[in-house]
A and B are shown apart, each in its own frame.
Chain A
């Protein structure tokens, strides 16, 4: 079983829809949670990061972390065709954790927003 599980999709939605992307994880040492966006044949682009449980909002993007359920989500409001990409969740342990200093990624979810 992988440490981080992410539904690969693909996910197709109409422009303006609310998109929900999710990851589950098994390593209770993870304390930092990130979302990256990756366009085809490009490097991942950091969208948001959160520490421990809670919500964080940045424009049309909202990240949620539920450590008790080992579940994280990214919501995209008013989705646009330019949001079409692969979305990767990533996690890291805190200082002293065995995976401190590296990110463990999910498989990525392919999102297409059609006009």
Chain B
């Protein structure tokens, strides 16, 4: 059974710092890896999607990487802002989507 693990479960950093969120998965038969953001009481918002043939994707202050050989993906957030506070989910995609348990990020003003 595919497992998607995100460590740490919670992270607090001061505003302005750069940070990295980690995601690991057990199945190498990956089609794509997607990062979502979830705000309290709300649905999920897609941030970045990396296809299996790619190694990274960038959008503004966000950069996501994919290393299929090691079963890892990272989400890098540059110059963090209080508005970045949310839960971040990585999603492993093949025939189905398997969601990680998420990292709750708090940016301290």
A binds B: no
Residues of A in contact with B (beta carbons under 8 Å apart): none
